[in-house]
Structure 1
């Protein structure tokens, strides 16, 4: 295994089947890890050949892999500790046998280590096989009484600082004529603001044009509206981030989705970007009309903070 010039964090995730490994892998991926589940042990050293890793890596290890070997797994852990200068973590997800049995009963799946026998036998066999791994674990999480949400929160406490990943905020303007976009987490309504549509020289322009921005800004209510949105998001976004969500979508609507909502979306995006949030912008109605590229509409002005 080639030594990484700038070693990054590597997490090996294992434990008895049904204890939550797949959930953990998905959470780590959301946190910015490059995640690979069920990877054969013989393939892992190849991941560290060549260029340095750009992101921390999470690797799910399953006893069902045909090349699984207890000795090989423990040796791999030793190798990674050496090659990453101690920045390799063996995460073991444990669970009581009765809980594992209940989970298998609910899914009606066969246990991978007892295809022709009862699940109890397979569970006991796997726990015994993994006992040396459990004793070696750097982090041991008992998932017996944890919901997937609880496990996610626990993993955030251990690993959120391993990447610079933050909650991403997707802002999109839209037209109320066409309905609220599917999947948004919260919506703000701009229809009370003065409407540029009724000004003939502005009707064909969009909220990306300076003349429209100036017209909307001339409504004294805009600054108050933006201030209240900023105050609300300043409270909500850190709470959403602490809850473990990795993405939040905010819709900002006006009647036609062309003027006021576009102006407000751009302004809110700039404020959030200055505060350090990862922001992306979409203008649903302008995209539909082919007036602006999708998703990253007008994002260049945010100084490279958007995605």
Structure 2
């Protein structure tokens, strides 16, 4: 059964912010779709076999008939076997006025009148929609982090780990990666490059892997670095950040960093939460492996 979540509310209250949270959490999100064509859009998604059972439609009020059109559409979708939910985002008039003044944009219903008049007209038009909503979120005093938490809890979607970690090996001689949150330097370990029988191998090959990981302090580095990542990850999860990129560097990005990246990926993937479920979704990548 498909789930269709309609997101609407006052202009300036945070519809786009809610859409971003849902998209990050695995929903298929369509923004600013006219109510009259939503049923066709949903049917197109279904027949195209898009791998999304949960669909979010962000609706911008279009006129006096908006409430009736939305109610009719929800009834039509329910008759077709879909579950529908309505999320309404709101904010106080002073907050909405301040937000519009900050971005220097006109209110969609302002016309030739004042900003306050446009907000009042929209609030009157959406009174029935707000009353029908299963969830109302007032964003007047919400930080972006708090809004993300409320939306994720109200409409959970992603199963499994809430934090994705990419562990990337690289060579310092090719420059630092620009997208890393954490960077570790493993050049303190002896370089297999200077051992003739290991030079042509890389850190994914058993001889190099065993040599690198068998060095003094390599095991302690792995243990302590996983502990560090766990601490940082807790903060990321509190702040609503769903991903982390870790860079592991050596001179050329072929031996030490590759072996350590593979081992840290394995260790992080083995981390579990209080219920014994995997704590992270982890992937290893090697930026400079194969470069001369």
Structure-2-length-normalised TM-score? 0.88
1:68-99 per-position Cα deviation (integer Å, ceiling 9, x unaligned)? 622011222333445456x3210000111111
Name the counterpart of 2:209. 213
Q: 1 CA distance for matches of 2:234 and 2:2? A: 27
Name the counterpart of 1:8. 2
Q: 1 CA distance for matches of 2:235 and 2:98? A: 33
Q: 2 CA distance for matches of 1:191 and 1:240? A: 28
Farther off after superposition, 108-117 or 25-34: 108-117
Farther off after superposition, 25-34 or 249-258: 249-258
- 1:42 corresponds to which of 26, 32, 36: 36
Would the alpha carbon gap of residues 93 and 194 (structure 1) be closer, same or farther in structure 2, given more than 3 Å must change?
A: same
Pair 1:22-2:20 in alignment: no
Name the counterpart of 1:144. 140
Structure 2 residue matching 1:13: 3-state secondary structure: strand
1:176-227 per-position Cα deviation (integer Å, ceiling 9, x unaligned)? 2233211211112211112112112222321122211121122132111111
- How many matched pairs? 280
Correspondence list, 1:153-302, <5 A: 153-159=149-155, 161-164=156-159, 166-275=162-271, 276=278, 277-286=280-289, 289=291
Pair 1:63-2:61 in alignment: yes
Structure 2 residue matching 1:201: 3-state secondary structure: helix
Structure-1-length-normalised TM-score? 0.84
Name the counterpart of 2:275. none
Does the CA contact (< 8 Å) of 1:230 and 1:268 recur in 2? yes
Which blocks of at least 5 consecutive residues in structure 2 are unaligned? 272-277
Name the counterpart of 1:92. 88
Does the CA contact (< 8 Å) of 2:110 and 2:118 recur in 1? yes
CA drift of 1:142 comes to 0.4
Which blocks of at least 5 consecutive residues in structure 1 are unaligned? 1-6, 291-307
Name the counterpart of 1:78. 75
CA drift of 1:103 comes to 0.8
Structure 2 residue matching 1:92: 3-state secondary structure: strand
**Higher RCO, 1 vs 2 (CA within 8 Å, ≥6 residues apart):** 2
Would the alpha carbon gap of residues 82 and 241 (structure 1) be closer, same or farther in structure 2, given more than 3 Å must change?
A: farther
Pair 1:120-2:119 in alignment: no
CA drift of 1:39 comes to 0.6
Does the CA contact (< 8 Å) of 2:88 and 2:137 recur in 1? yes
Would the alpha carbon gap of residues 151 and 84 (structure 1) be closer, same or farther in structure 2, given more than 3 Å must change?
A: farther
Give the alignment's Cα RMSD to 1 decimal: 2.1
Would the alpha carbon gap of residues 84 and 96 (structure 1) be closer, same or farther in structure 2, given more than 3 Å must change?
A: farther
CA drift of 1:110 comes to 1.0
Name the counterpart of 1:300. none
CA drift of 1:111 comes to 0.9
